[in-house]
A = this chain, B = another copy of it.
Amino acid sequence: MIDAKEVTISDSEWEVMRAIWTLKRVTSHELIGLMDKARGWSESTTKTLLNRLIKKNAVQKIGTGRPFSYAPAVGEQDSMTAAATDLFDHMCAMQAGTTLANVIESRDLSQDDIKNLQQILAQKAKTAPEMVECNCLPKDVKQDCDC
């Protein structure tokens, strides 16, 4: 498995990856049918995306004979966490909490997910600061904003 942090997957590529992750192993034929059904993509489009993913090391080609199979080379959970972490890393730290709250409100979460989150939060509460500071400007820039 390649480290998910090393691989950048574009939006369309994500669609392909999701199918591959879910099926674990596919032929291009299956994938083409799937993406056509799911997104209405032409055969060519799926082929291109698959090749780009191989080149990026997000997918590995399996087998020797002609109908090859394709399997994920990066983990789904790892890729998801890497993508989400990357996004938050580029946003204001001060508002991350509220953003997370907004996201959570709109997600379907299982009872187990919720318990897990609660446990993590309880843990974090023990050492959490009273305030998180805005990290949007270089620290030496005067910043008398209420942000």
A18 touches B114 (CB 8 A): no
Set of chain B residues within 8 Å of A95, measured between Cβ atoms: 76-77, 80
Q: Select one of B112, B118, B129, B137 contacting A19, CB under 8 A.
A: B137
Set of chain B residues within 8 Å of A84, measured between Cβ atoms: 84, 87-88, 99-100, 102-103
B87 touches A101 (CB 8 A): no
| Nearest-CB residue, chain B, relative to A78 | B102
CA distance A18 to B137 in the complex (A): 8
Interface size, chain A (Cβ < 8 Å) = 66
The verdict on A141 contacting chain B, using a C-beta distance below 8 Å, is: yes
Q: A109-B124, A110-B129 are in contact. Are A90 and B136 (CB under 8 A)?
A: no
Set of chain B residues within 8 Å of A114, measured between Cβ atoms: 97, 121, 124-125, 128
Q: Select one of B120, B129, B131 contacting A105, CB under 8 A.
A: B120
